[in-house]
Amino acid sequence: MRKLKLGVMISGGGTNLQALIDACASPDFPAEINVVVSNRPGAFGLERAQKAGIQSVCIDHTEFPDRETFEASIHDCLKKHNVELVCLAGFMRILNASFVGRWKDRMINVHPSLLPSYKGLHTHARAIEDGVRFGGCTIHFVRPEMDDGPIIMQAAVPIEPDDTEDSLAEKILAYEHVMYPAAVRLIAEGKVRVSGRKCAFKDVVIGKTGLISPPQP
């Protein structure tokens, strides 16, 4: 089986990276991680990669005079490792349009909200403050605008009355860990592609059951 070659970009603990590492360990998973790139030297995700025997590279953004040269170094690293799909997994740097353009339709991201709602930071706290009934997460192809791009997959997670920012984040993160490998599989198997501003699917069953919160008898 030919496997899609991934480059995973991180800034921190790398729990979504670990979900991808675990998925790629299965012989029938149609992708493999060629390199993990962190912009922070102390990111625990680098240890996760090393433990799994995956090439890891730290490209510290503080060592570059500007964003352009920093991103050029990342691009060269990804190309050196023959990366075909870039997976942003907690990479906490805004990327220039030029870098995003080089990887158009070949770079995906996970965001902890139901996009296009709650772009940016503090998504869970903002959702709780607004009293919305559902939080969630989104896997999407990356575009130059922040937290924008064709949506591949989403999960809606009910917000309970006693949820805190931390408890909601923990619940939603569990869905991210399931969805990220699933989204990569769809791409690797050719079951999703970008069509304009949306994703088009092939041989994928889309659920028809809605959710109500609070639930009704």
Residue 149 backbone phi and psi in degrees, to 5:
140, 165
How many Å apart are CA 182 and CA 161, to the nearest integer? 30
Q: Are 8 and 39 in contact (CB under 8 A)?
A: no
According to DSSP, the β-strands at 198-201 and 31-38 are unpaired
How many Å apart are CA 192 and CA 201, to the nearest integer? 5
Catalytic residue among 61, 75, 81, 111: 111
Q: Are 31 and 184 in contact (CB under 8 A)?
A: yes
According to DSSP, the β-strands at 56-58 and 31-38 are parallel
111 is catalytic: yes
Q: Where are the alpha helices (DSSP H) in the chain?
A: 15-24, 44-51, 67-80, 97-102, 123-130, 165-188
How many Å apart are CA 77 and CA 83, to the nearest integer? 9
Active site residues: 111
